[in-house]
Structure 1
């Protein structure tokens, strides 16, 4: 075994130690704390959460290799400390102690201490020395930022009771982040699933117009995210019909079901898209702007109109019109990354088209804000305050990755390769502003593009106080 080393990360938190501890103890904390560039899969869990004696089997990637990691929770002091140790895995030793304490002036402190020893042999050389320290700093900068901002967002509505929230599309980029965000905040989530439901899930078959009404009864709120992916290959007539039907018919089935409940939920947040505005050049667009033209604009109008049964039943309906969601774990950014990391990225077309983007973390914040803000209804643009030209997006992504971004993709090549889909998703220009969210007092965690990219790619220049020993 190599020599043991100690790494510490310490950050101020906006709430007391008890709330920090409770957040970590709730279902979903592991998922929220796992950086998107460090994919880790929970293979098996034996025991109760983070309590002493719980055993967890993980599968993690270290470079191109998938490695098993077995950990056991060894200490548990409610409200202040828990600890886990590696039983077997890539390190010769790994003991991770999580500490929380109150500050006299208010709030609390979160401290992560990791005592580790590098393995011997080739793997030890790969993860040795500076690489291991750098990797730990990236991971814990992300973890502490997520913990702090989640706690801040939940604290803003701490005076309201926890909700039971039904979520469709829970396995997608947004849904897979939203579910643990809500559960670590003390809310109960019930997934709308096709096929055989697991405990707590709600079965539905939107293609057949079917919904488990008994299981749906009693939910306080619904977040509707389901819909077939838009940017996957060329749009054949069959593909376009699938996109339309998955959104319009799925929304109609859901909203008709909600309207028939004995106690309908108070709020439905139904995600749509900025495609509502179509190609608008340099025009600045807000929620009061009229719809545009094109396939996506037409689908989005029908999509939003399909919520009418819920509105007529007295449910507060919010249409969250998503911009390009930036999360390195999926979606548009994940598709761009291989080319940019290889130094082969660049502008698309002439690069002058406006790109209205939003960080995944701010989508979660907007969804949460919409659930708890009674004055919010109707269309809400889920975009960052600062739209950018596409060429500026390419330049910023290259800068964050320390790669050149000078390989253009001509518009003619986009049209030849992707047809109508490329025209409406890659060449379309929409300069959208989040007027309603800002007027209602929503605070963006990542108002600038560089902030959003650095966070999701683990390139942030801000973080906890680190100590190596």
Structure 2
């Protein structure tokens, strides 16, 4: 297949390109630094560089400003929003002018769609949004992507959880304090942390490509989410370090503001119902197995 990918040089995108290349797909990636793209993959800096007659079977959109790298000032919230909506709209505009439409558009989203709070209730793809920033961001991002559907393009929205893998992602930021014995639960520790191993993340995307019945929102999370307290315990055990400390919720709110409240102190029990019903088999269903592989 001919596949176009945005955000291909990021944590997930790099792994995905490796998998799709091994499957002998032809890849074109949109990146700010196309000169760094090596091998058989073609790099472009703008969709305007594409020939209108060029045909893609699949377009995958993973681009976006990291959401948890900085405190959410008004300016930072705007950068986060623009980086997602502008790129997605650029792709939609490209579809509208293309002589041949792709069969499939896979666009990123996140479990932040389901909003803030923490309950024992399980949430599948039918869960609703709320008025939090992360939820409204994902809602707008998905609405933009869904403009592809009236063009006859099958559209999948990846509501991704915390992706765990080597050399990047959330885990890389956690390891050092845990290795130093400074790891501990955050707030009450009862907030859920739906996670997914990087291997399963990219395999799930490949499954979406192969299974033409899949459409709409898809929870990209492992079948066994854990609470923050359980995640803390598992990571400490994997690193052979104590996890006796607690980061008080008040401290998170003081240091990180709204970003900390929504991303660290909240979390819902999100389950990958749709992708499992479609026959996808997770290689890493349990957190301890995932951490053992990564660490």
Superposition TM-score, scaled by structure 2 size: 0.94
Pick aligned residue for 2:109 from 272, 283, 300? 272
Distance in 1 separating the partners of 2:237 and 2:33: 44
Deviation at 1:292, TM superposition (A): 2.4
Deviation at 1:212, TM superposition (A): 2.5
Flag the structure with higher strand content: 1
Deviation at 1:216, TM superposition (A): 8.0
Question: Do the aligned residues in 2 keep the contact of 1:202 with 1:216 (CA within 8 Å)?
Answer: no
Hey, what does 1:233 align to over in structure 2? 70
Question: Do the aligned residues in 2 keep the contact of 1:366 with 1:382 (CA within 8 Å)?
Answer: yes
Question: Do the aligned residues in 1 keep the contact of 2:34 with 2:44 (CA within 8 Å)?
Answer: no
Distance in 1 separating the partners of 2:130 and 2:122: 13
Distance in 2 separating the partners of 1:226 and 1:240: 16
Query: What whole-Å deviation, never above 9, does each CA across 1:161-200 have from its counterpart, x for those lacking one?
Result: xx11111111111011111111011112111123556672
Distance in 2 separating the partners of 1:174 and 1:437: 18
Distance in 1 separating the partners of 2:183 and 2:65: 27
Flag the structure with higher helix content: 2
Report the secondary structure of 1:263's partner residue. Answer: coil
Distance in 1 separating the partners of 2:95 and 2:197: 30
Hey, what does 1:435 align to over in structure 2? 273
Hey, what does 1:403 align to over in structure 2? 241
Question: Do the aligned residues in 2 keep the contact of 1:277 with 1:290 (CA within 8 Å)?
Answer: yes
Pick aligned residue for 1:262 from 87, 93, 99? 99
Hey, what does 1:451 align to over in structure 2? 289
Question: Do the aligned residues in 2 keep the contact of 1:280 with 1:292 (CA within 8 Å)?
Answer: no
Hey, what does 2:148 align to over in structure 1? 310
Deviation at 1:246, TM superposition (A): 0.6
Over 3 Å counting, the alpha-carbon distance change for 1:381 and 1:238 in structure 2 is same
Runs of 4+, deviation exceeding 3 Å: 195-199
Within the alignment, does 1:201 sit opposite 2:38 as a pair? no
Superposition TM-score, scaled by structure 1 size: 0.60
User: Mind listing any 5+ residue stretches in structure 1 that lack a counterpart?
Assistant: 1-162, 205-209, 458-469
- Equivalent runs, 1:10-409 vs 2, <5 Å: 163-194=1-32, 200-204=42-46, 211-214=48-51, 217-282=54-119, 283-409=121-247
User: Mind listing any 5+ residue stretches in structure 2 that lack a counterpart?
Assistant: none
Deviation at 1:284, TM superposition (A): 1.5
Report the secondary structure of 2:59's partner residue. Answer: strand
* Structure showing greater Rg: 1
